[in-house]
Amino acid sequence: MATKIGDVTSIGKSENLSVVLDDRLTKLQLCEEPWNAIVDNGRHENGDSYTLTAVFTVADFATLIGYRGVLVPVTFDDGTILTECRVLVRSYKPTKDFETLYKDVSLEIWRL
């Protein structure tokens, strides 16, 4: 299965998918003695971010670049669907042996 972002679909499976959980712990340092207090506001799933690497056609890559600042749905390889996400292209390079057809793209996806 492939990763679908808005109207574009990756070529094959994505790689290096990782999730950064939005765990809203805050450490407060109080004046007087070296006291510390932890404020636990819980985890907010909508604040999670995802990073992955996938291969896209050059035309689809241009569409991905245009998604900056636009909320789009994302469907991952495993079938997980996120409805409103911001997609950031962090880096890209031509795919070996197919430089003019495909790009290997590193993406960051933020849930809102």
* C-alpha to C-alpha distance for 5 and 7, rounded to whole angstroms: 6
Specify the pTM: 0.76
Q: In the chain, what is the straight-line distance between the N-terminal and C-terminal CA atoms, in Å?
A: 25
* C-alpha to C-alpha distance for 88 and 43, rounded to whole angstroms: 23
What residue segments make up the domains of the chain, in order of their start?
Answer: 4-111
Indicate the CATH number of 4-111 among 2.40.30, 3.20.170, 1.10.3470, 3.40.190. Answer: 2.40.30
Q: Give pLDDT tens digits along the chain (112 positions).
A: 799 999 999 998 999 999 887 766 666 666 666 676 766 666 666 678 899 999 999 999 999 999 988 999 999 998 989 989 999 999 999 988 888 899 999 999 998 7
Stated as kind and residue range, the H or E segment containing 63 is: helix 58-66
